Structure 1
């Protein structure tokens, strides 16, 4: 299992190369912003269509992470679906797939700004979830320590072995962790955006996803 280990508020965590977060002591896996059903929503609204396999690809990676970690608790940290209609429009095979992943596990859907939580797909539905010393919520709030959130879909560009690489990334400082989007075909906000620069402390790290998670100082300024 490839990952980068770090400590937040005393909790020992692992940022996985897939964009998931694993908390070994709690046997807990957290993913954020899966945006399942994005292809269906874009087609429904007459927008430019995406290849039709994004939900399958996202669920395949989630299944692989669950098999690799053996996690007994799963937190889906908001915007699990691209909107409420996308959740209802899932294929029956996809709904059954989610049910199989849930079997024998505690499964928590955190409310996002795109979806209120898929109330007919099993699991618990919460606005936020405290698991001391951490709190899991969709959008970061000022003044908190030990916070794990998503929403922003952070991306980072760094020079690696002589070429620029752009990848989804975790952003980490002494107060919080902002998760990358886990879903296939989700966009992203560059780390130099004011919203992220204002949120994260000056010492913040970016942990790039990929085969080998790569930590580096969070890029700021005009270019990332």
Structure 2
């Protein structure tokens, strides 16, 4: 799968090149910030017009990850829809694809700042979720330990190119945005610098998951 395996709070996890996190021992796939329906939301609010294929592209990538990993449990770490109306306006093809992916799986929607309430789409809805000593939530909390979150859409520069990335230190994992139409916050942003400890890694997504220092040494 060209993923990056690491130990976090005593558990073996894998950062996948797609931006998903896989916990093999639990058969669990975790993704964050799908932002389904973003092109519809932009058009509805008078923003820029984008090709309306982002949701299907995102769900297709998720389908591939589920096929490769065989995961029977899925956690979506918030901002799964670009807003509540985008969830309601999801097209029939997108809705049917999502229903197919959810069928036969335990599916948890963790609430984010873009999707503050439950949607009529199945699965269970949580403000946060604890599994053993790991807590899954949308946005990192500064004093938490063993935390897996999203929200910030981290990205790192490599050879002049910006790539979405995971951030990893001893206390937390921050996932990249999984959605097709999503921006990002560079790793040197003050918000991320304050959260991540010394020696934190950025695990870049792409054709393979590539670890590098979050804070590269300056020559």
Q: Number of matched residues?
A: 218
CA distance in 2, matches of 1:182, 1:37: 13
CA distance in 2, matches of 1:191, 1:47: 27
TM-aligned CA deviation for residue 71 of structure 1: 0.2
Per the alignment, residue 114 of structure 1 pairs with 114
Per the alignment, residue 186 of structure 1 pairs with 182
Q: Flag as ranges the 4+ runs of structure 1 deviating above 6 A.
A: none
Per the alignment, residue 199 of structure 2 pairs with 203
Q: Is the 8 Å Cα contact of residues 156 and 219 (structure 1) preserved in structure 2?
A: no
Per the alignment, residue 66 of structure 1 pairs with 66
Per the alignment, residue 45 of structure 1 pairs with 45
TM-aligned CA deviation for residue 48 of structure 1: 0.7
- CA RMSD for the aligned pairs? 1.3
Q: Does 1:137 align with 2:133?
A: no
CA distance in 1, matches of 2:190, 2:135: 24
Q: Does 1:175 align with 2:171?
A: yes
TM-aligned CA deviation for residue 117 of structure 1: 4.6
SS in 1 for 2:141: coil
SS in 2 for 1:34: coil
TM-aligned CA deviation for residue 110 of structure 1: 0.3
CA distance in 2, matches of 1:79, 1:219: 27
Q: Is the 8 Å Cα contact of residues 37 and 82 (structure 2) preserved in structure 1?
A: yes
Q: Which runs of 5+ in 2 are unaligned?
A: none
1:60-108 deviation line (CA, Å, top 9, x unaligned): 0000000000000000000000000000000122111111101110000
Per the alignment, residue 17 of structure 2 pairs with 17
CA distance in 2, matches of 1:220, 1:213: 17
Per the alignment, residue 215 of structure 1 pairs with 211
Q: Is the 8 Å Cα contact of residues 84 and 119 (structure 2) preserved in structure 1?
A: no
Q: Is the 8 Å Cα contact of residues 110 and 117 (structure 1) preserved in structure 2?
A: no
CA distance in 1, matches of 2:133, 2:175: 17
Per the alignment, residue 57 of structure 1 pairs with 57
Q: Is the 8 Å Cα contact of residues 78 and 117 (structure 1) preserved in structure 2?
A: no
Give the TM-score, by structure 2 length: 0.97
TM-aligned CA deviation for residue 51 of structure 1: 1.5
Q: Is the 8 Å Cα contact of residues 87 and 119 (structure 2) preserved in structure 1?
A: no
